[in-house]
Amino acid sequence: MSISIIPRILNLLCAALLLWCPLLARATDDSTIPAATVAQLMTREVIGAAGKEVLMITVTYVAGGASLPHRHDAQVFVYVLEGQMTMQVRGHAAVTLGPGQTFYEGPGDIHQVSANASQTVPSKILVFMVKDKARPASRDVTDKAVP
């Protein structure tokens, strides 16, 4: 890997984490504990699909933690690693998933509910996202800047 590429990769990592942080809702009154933490594992260009990239992250939710409604403008594949997650896209019923179960969001979906179903134990998901390189990984549903 060329040394000139390292700063670009670090910038992408930081940008992805910053995009996710505003979408994390508080489940408790203690503002020192985040509702969820995001760890970026990998970003790669999609071979044969100019302008597309795959982003792989883990999201760990504290007990009772949740994300605010948002959208990804991407294909999102979720795999539950630990705990129980309640997931819902607008217009569909909420589902509660456990380890080994999966969830999908399409590019036009509003991710209405993404919450740890437990008030006592954390949960963790693995997320694979296929997205346009020029688009943010996630955005608030009230953001009208991107159609």
| pLDDT category of residue 141 using cuts at 50, 70 and 90 | confident
| Res. 20: pLDDT tops 60 | no
Cα 136 to the center of its chain, rounded Å: 11
48, part of any domain: yes
> Residue 92 has what DSSP assignment?
S
| Res. 45: pLDDT tops 50 | yes
> Residue 62 has what DSSP assignment?
P
pLDDT, tens only, 62-105: 999 999 999 999 999 999 999 999 999 999 999 999 999 999 99
146, part of any domain: no
pLDDT mean across residues, the chain: 83
145, part of any domain: no
67, part of any domain: yes
78, part of any domain: yes
Its domain, for residue 46, covers 5-139
69, part of any domain: yes
Q: Which of residues 74 and 142 earns the better pLDDT score?
A: 74
> Would you say the pTM of this structure is higher than 0.95?
no
- Separation between Cα atoms, residue 15 and residue 22, nearest integer Å: 12
- Per DSSP bridges, beta strands 36-45 and 102-105 are unpaired
10, part of any domain: yes
User: What pLDDT does residue 22 have?
Assistant: 44
Q: Residues 40, 45, 49, 51: is their CA dihedral positive or negative?
A: positive
144, part of any domain: no
134 residue type, one letter: A
Residue 55, phi then psi, degrees to nearest 5: -115, 130
If you average pLDDT over residues 44-49, what whole number do you get?
A: 95
Total tally of structural domains belonging to the chain: 1
First CA to last CA distance, the chain:
35
Q: Residues 26, 146, 131, 7: is their CA dihedral positive or negative?
A: negative
| pLDDT category of residue 19 using cuts at 50, 70 and 90 | very low
CATH number at residue 123: 2.60.120.10
